[in-house]
Structure 1
Amino acid sequence: MRTAVIGLGVLGASAARSLALAGADVTVLERRAPLAGTSGTSFAWTNSHNKNPRSYHDLNVAGMAEHDALAEEPGPCGPWLARTGNLEWAEDDAGAERLAASVAELTGRGYPVEWIGSRRARELVPDLRVPATDIAFYPTEGHVVPALLLARLWGEARDRGARLRCPAEVTGLSEVDGGVRVSLSGGDATVFDAVVIATGRWTEAVTAAAGHRVAMAPPDVAGSATVGLLGYTNPLPARLHRVLTTPALNVRPDGGGRLVVQGLDLDADADPAAPPPADGEHARKLCARLTGLLDGTAGARLESLRVGQRAMPADGLTAAGFLGGSDRIYAMATHSGITLGPLLGRLAAQELTTGRPVDALTDFRPDRLLGRADLPPLRPARFAGQQ
């Protein structure tokens, strides 16, 4: 089966790998460069927090398990998955009530979480400056290094014959006898047996080119749920190998002593058209919060401060499946791209190659979003980082 995968982020690379493993002849069409979209500006935290309805929670738990299974397979790529846990606490009564309700819900679902004290928290993160309060510890959570994950997925796809065309901008998709005609800028066109759309925040435009527009939340509206700031520090002598989701700052390691920092209240000022400087007011606030949170971070500075643009279907849930009754054009889009990437790629390949639907994706078919213009704007969430 000659298959085109449009987009080389984590979802596209995962689909390409799984299709190639299944024996498909795979060509990836990437407009700019690998990781040029959402996957390259992601907090990259693997979790299933506040993922409702229950089927969405279960899908994300399965996504975490897929990461674990992939990490256990032998391969030459570096350690792209750190399953070292996440620590979270609240700063006021209202936050404590929300956290307790969240922990209770997760406990009822069998999701691993435990309450610990500040002493245990410092054993887990020796340099942590933490108030004397109850802390929720999620031992199965962690983070991903997106570039290393992409290297693993796309490298194994290439090993099995997958090819990359880049730059290659798709301008049209149309079903023809025996396949799908993919038109590119410059006038080139090729017919494939099937096409997978994995274009992140450009999903609406690309699916519209196929005649089946999947409604997405606008990815470039300043202060909206789809934009946020991510800071990347200089190398620091701080002992942190876990994820921290705290009232003022989310932090995770990024390799080489660097940390990724995120202050969700600052996202109100995030504007893709006007990225803030790495030495401006927002950067100073992030660094000050980091110094207050972790020993070993005195003198922290940001090497870069990026505006991340999240890929988010218009109702906030994942979209994965065939478009408009077609059995040849398949689309995937999700806010939880890091957590779900390896799983969705495998399930997409399974549905494409077998023709049989996967029950886990029943609630997430993209046709529910076709042509929708009546959905309310999404509001920023407590855990808004791309996951």
Structure 2
Amino acid sequence: MRVAVVGLGVVGASAARALARAGAEVTVFERAAPAAGTTGTSFAWINSHQKNPLPYHELNVAGMAEHGALQEDGGQWFFRTGNLEWAVGAGRSRLVEAVAELRRRGYPVEWITAGQARRLVPDLRVPDEVTDIAWYPEEGYVLPAALLARLWGEARDHGASLRCPEEVVDLAAGPKRAELRLASGARETYDVVVLAAGRWSEQLAARCGVTLPMADPEAAGSATVGFLGYTAPLATRLDRVLTTPTLNVRPEGGGRLVVQGLDLDADADPATVPGTTGRHARELISRLRGLLAGTEGARLDSLRVGQRAMPADGLTVAGFGAAGSVYTIATHSGITLGPLLGRLAAEEIVRGKESALLAAFRPDRFTGVDKSDLAPLTPARFAGQQ
């Protein structure tokens, strides 16, 4: 079976790896560079917070487990070191309700004291008014570049090839074949095309008759955009994820941290990325100093505006379109779900084994749906929403 994969982010690399391991002849088309899309600007927190309805929560829990299983085969990109979360004011009741719901679902979470939290993160500064902190021991974070290297490296080991830079500009699907038209004017035919183009998926899907409404990745202040600050190396002790009312933080390796202030995302605009010494950068650094000791002299090496690949209803899309030769994957939870979606897609494409986990996420749910009738997604403004 000859399979083309469009896009080399984590989702595309996961699909290429699984397909090549299953015996398919795989060619990946990437328009710019590996990780040039959302993969390169992700907070990369592995979790199943606020993932509703229940089938979406279950899919993300399975995605978390897939990272652990994959890492057992070697490599280090997933750090299952847990997440600490607290909230104040109105956010406190939201957190209590969220923890109760997760407990009912059997998700590992417990309440701990500020003292216990400081034993887990010695440099943590907990506000005096915070007495109870939610501890999620099975969560963690990913280093996206290291994950991509593992997935794509193994895909290459099994014969997958990369065409980069090579842009796919058109896609025609039939019952048994799909044809790609490239920016160069060349046309190529494959048994199956896997569309893993992230925030560029809607236009390509429409070319082959698949309705895939995506939230606008260019809309300033919307649910699809957000600031990510990357610090210079710091002498602070943090090996876990922190999700707090003012700042979300995770390690990035080499003493560097990734910081995110969700309320600041109202100002995020892909067309205007602020500098590393401007107002937003200064605010992120100020919040970091208030959260962790050992951050004196902290500065940002870069401040990026991430653009999320988000289907318009907020839920994952995975499956064949009506023609049967194009398999579409689009998801907001690409880092958490990437390895799982790649494996399940390969099983469906190569072996014809449909996954019950994906039953609620087929692209045909959008058939006949007018994008303008879908309610706009609410931007993430407190921990867990993103």
Into which bin does the TM-score normalised by the smaller protein fall?
over 0.9
The letter of the residue matching 1:90 is A
- The alpha carbon displacement at 1:96 in A equals 1.1
The letter of the residue matching 1:85 is G
Residue 96 of structure 1 corresponds to 92
The letter of the residue matching 1:107 is R
CA distance in 1, matches of 2:266, 2:384: 13
| TM-aligned CA distance change 1:386 to 1:49, over 3 Å | closer
CA distance in 2, matches of 1:251, 1:177: 47
Secondary structure of 1:254's counterpart equals strand
Residue 329 of structure 1 corresponds to 326
CA distance in 1, matches of 2:223, 2:154: 34
- The answer as to 2:20 corresponding to 1:24 is no
CA distance in 1, matches of 2:341, 2:174: 27
Equivalence map 1:281-296=2 (5 Å)? 281-296=279-294
- The answer as to 2:362 corresponding to 1:365 is yes
Residue 15 of structure 2 corresponds to 15
Residue 128 of structure 1 corresponds to 124
- The alpha carbon displacement at 1:381 in A equals 2.4
Which of 293, 296, 299 does residue 298 from structure 1 map onto? Answer: 296
Secondary structure of 1:158's counterpart equals helix
The letter of the residue matching 1:365 is R
Residue 145 of structure 2 corresponds to 147
Q: Deviation per CA, 1:94-131, whole angstroms, max 9, x where unpaired?
A: 11111100000000000000000011000000000012
| TM-aligned CA distance change 1:177 to 1:372, over 3 Å | closer
Residue 210 of structure 2 corresponds to 212
Residue 60 of structure 1 corresponds to 60
- The alpha carbon displacement at 1:382 in A equals 4.3
CA distance in 2, matches of 1:298, 1:367: 52
CA distance in 2, matches of 1:361, 1:204: 20
- The alpha carbon displacement at 1:369 in A equals 2.2
The letter of the residue matching 1:348 is A
Secondary structure of 2:67's counterpart equals helix
CA distance in 1, matches of 2:122, 2:381: 26
Unaligned runs of 5+ in 1: none
CA distance in 1, matches of 2:114, 2:246: 17
- The alpha carbon displacement at 1:205 in A equals 1.2
CA distance in 1, matches of 2:34, 2:215: 23
CA distance in 2, matches of 1:200, 1:314: 13
Which of 114, 118, 123 does residue 118 from structure 1 map onto? Answer: 114
- The alpha carbon displacement at 1:63 in A equals 0.2
CA distance in 2, matches of 1:171, 1:87: 44
Contact 1:86 1:141 in 2 (8 A): yes
- The answer as to 2:236 corresponding to 1:238 is yes
- The alpha carbon displacement at 1:171 in A equals 1.2
Contact 2:175 2:324 in 1 (8 A): no
Q: In the comparison of the two structures, how many residue pairs are matched?
A: 382
Contact 1:33 1:167 in 2 (8 A): yes
The letter of the residue matching 1:5 is V
Contact 2:232 2:301 in 1 (8 A): yes
Contact 2:269 2:305 in 1 (8 A): yes
Contact 1:335 1:386 in 2 (8 A): no
| TM-aligned CA distance change 1:96 to 1:177, over 3 Å | closer
Contact 1:313 1:335 in 2 (8 A): yes
Contact 1:44 1:386 in 2 (8 A): no
CA distance in 2, matches of 1:278, 1:210: 42
CA distance in 2, matches of 1:73, 1:31: 30
- The alpha carbon displacement at 1:354 in A equals 1.6
Compute the TM-score of the two structures, normalised by the length of structure 2.
0.97
Secondary structure of 1:60's counterpart equals helix
- The alpha carbon displacement at 1:384 in A equals 7.6
CA distance in 2, matches of 1:298, 1:127: 12
Question: Which aligned runs of 4 or more in structure 1 are off by greater than 3 angstroms?
Answer: 382-387
Contact 1:228 1:264 in 2 (8 A): yes
| TM-aligned CA distance change 1:260 to 1:346, over 3 Å | same
Q: Deviation per CA, 1:250-306, whole angstroms, max 9, x where unpaired?
A: 000000000000000000000000011111000000000000000000111100000
The letter of the residue matching 2:109 is V
Unaligned runs of 5+ in 2: none
Equivalence map 1:223-262=2 (5 Å)? 223-262=221-260
CA distance in 1, matches of 2:176, 2:345: 20
- The alpha carbon displacement at 1:195 in A equals 0.5
Which of 101, 108, 114 does residue 104 from structure 2 map onto? Answer: 108
Equivalence map 1:304-383=2 (5 Å)? 304-323=302-321, 325-370=322-367, 372-373=370-371, 374-382=373-381
Q: Percent identical across equivalent pairs?
A: 66
The letter of the residue matching 1:236 is L
Residue 186 of structure 1 corresponds to 184
- The alpha carbon displacement at 1:178 in A equals 4.2
Q: Deviation per CA, 1:225-262, whole angstroms, max 9, x where unpaired?
A: 00000000010000000000000000000000000000
Contact 2:40 2:145 in 1 (8 A): yes
| TM-aligned CA distance change 1:57 to 1:385, over 3 Å | closer
Q: Deviation per CA, 1:173-222, whole angstroms, max 9, x where unpaired?
A: 11357411111012111100100000111110111122223100000000
- The alpha carbon displacement at 1:383 in A equals 5.7
CA distance in 1, matches of 2:319, 2:110: 36
Compute the TM-score of the two structures, normalised by the length of structure 1.
0.96
Secondary structure of 1:135's counterpart equals strand
